[in-house]
Amino acid sequence: MPFTTHNPTTNQHIQTFASLDAAHLPQVLTDAHSAQHDWAQSDFSTRAEMLRNAANQLLARRDEYATLITLEMGKPMREARAEVEKCAGVCEYYAQHGEQFMRAETVVSDAAHSYIAYQPLGVVLAIMPWNFPFWQVFRAAAPALMAGNALLLKHAPNVPQCALAIEEIFRVSGLPEGVFTNLLLEVEHVAEVIASPHVHAVTLTGSEAAGRKVAALAGQHLKKCVLELGGSDPFIVLHDADLELAVNMALASRFLNCGQSCIAAKRFILVPQIADEFLQLLKAKVETLQLGDPLDDATQIGPMARADLRDTLHKQITDSIAQGAVAVCGCQPIARAGFFYQPSILDCVTLATCAYHEELFGPVALILRAADEADALRLANDTRFGLGASVWSNDSERAEQLAAHIQSGCAFINGMVKSDPRLPFGGVKASGYGRELSKLGMHEFVNAKTVWVR
C-alpha cells in the first residue's frame, strides 16, 4: 500500500510514495548489517565530521526542512524552524562529546588492569512518531551513529517527505550507504525487521499501545529496547508561585505544537489559594492565541496532524464534560478546512472523568483542584504515566523536596519540561523505559564490555 501524505491545514493530498517491496527487505537488512560492520571500524573523527556536516546542512536549509514539517503535520513555521535548529544542536553535541562518552573506563579490581570498553551494538531499528518528525529521529540517530551503530528508520506514515529528507541529509553529509536507511515499510513488516538476526536493538517513540507491541516483539527475540511513550505530565502550582511566570510557561508548555507533545504539561494541579486566579489568567491568555495557517509566522496554533486525532480528542472532551468536567473555553472543533481544534481548558477534572485517566493529545489544558500541597502530590502520582513533571513555587528548595516524590523521569522546578542533549531523557511506569540523550542515552546502544587482564 502506498504512503499518502496530506496537508492537515487544507486536507489536500500532497504526494504519494510507494512502500518498500517486502521481497527486498531481507537484502536491505543484510546491507545495513554489512555497512555497520565497516562503519564500526571508522575513527571518531570521521563520525564527528559527518555529524557536523549534517548540522551544517540542517542550518543551511532550515526553512526548506521546516516547510516540510509544517506541510506534513501542521506545526507552525516558527516552531518547525526551532525544531530543525535543535536537530543541528544535537549533531554538534555528539560530534563534540561522543568520543569521550565512548572512552574506556578503568576500574580497579583484582586484575593487573581492568576496564569497561564501550563498543557499538550493531543495527538499531528506530520507530519514530510524526509530532516532532525531525527532532525525534536526530535525537536517536546522532548518538547511535557516533557510537558506530547503523540505523534503520521506520517513520510515521504521514511524514514520508520528512523521512526521505533526513535520509538525504545523512547521505550528503558523508555517511556511507546503508548506515542510515529509511524504510517506507508497512506496519505488518516491522515484526520481520525486529526478528532479523541483522537487527540488534529497537528504539521507539510513540503511543503506549505501540510500545507494548514493540516491547513484546523485542523481548521475544531478546533484543535491547528503549521506549519513550505517552505522558500526562503534572504541572503543580503552589500557593507562593510567581503566577505570571507559571501561567506564561503553562501556555507555552501545553499549546506548543498544538498540544501534540508527550512532555507537554497536561494536568494543571492547583492548590486552593491560587486556583481561581491562575485559571482566570490562563483563560485570558488562551483566548488570545492566534489560530490559523501554520505557514504564517503570526500563527501560534495550527491544525492537529490528522482528522482521527482531532475526533478522538473531541470525544474525550465531550465524554469528560458529560461526566462532570466544566468547559472553560474552547472544547469544539473548528468548522473550516483542515483539522483545527479550539484551544481549550477543562476545569473540575476528577476521578469520575475520562480526562483524569487518559492522555489528551491536543490543545486542551486540564485543571485539577487539590485540597492542599500533599493532595497535589497525590494527584500528580495518581496516573499510570511518568514522563515529566514541573513544580512552581518561590521556595525552590521546598519545591525540589516535593518533586523528589513525583514518579517521573524528569522534574523541573519553575521551568517548562523539555529535552536537552546534556541531560538524560525518558520515563517510568507506562511512559516507557531506557534513556535518550546525554552519555546515558549513548550507552543504551553499546556493548559495555568488561576486559580483565592478569
DSSP state of 175: P
DSSP state of 411: E
Q: CA-to-CA distance for 97 and 140, rounded, in angstroms?
A: 15
Q: Of 258, 262, 329, 348, which one is the catalytic site residue?
A: 262
Q: CA-to-CA distance for 212 and 218, rounded, in angstroms?
A: 10
- For helices 160-172 and 62-73, what crossing angle results, to 10°? 160
Q: What is the grid cell recorded at 196?
A: 532479523
Q: What is the grid cell recorded at 237?
A: 502550582
Q: CA-to-CA distance for 364 and 346, rounded, in angstroms?
A: 7
Q: Of 72, 167, 228, 436, which one is the catalytic site residue?
A: 228
CA angle, 419 then 285 then 299, to 5° = 70
Residue bearing cell 519514530: 128
DSSP for 92-120, please give it.
HHHHHHHHHHTS-EE--SSSSEEEEEEEE
Chain centroid to Cα 79, Å, comes to 15
Amino acid at 169: I
Beta strands 113-120 and 3-7, pairing class: unpaired
Please list, in sequence order, all residues whose beta carbon lies within 8 angstroms of the beta carbon of residue 439, skipping any fewer than 6 positions away: 97, 101
Q: CA-to-CA distance for 137 and 50, rounded, in angstroms?
A: 16
Q: Is 262 in the active site?
A: yes
Q: Which residues are catalytic?
A: 228, 262
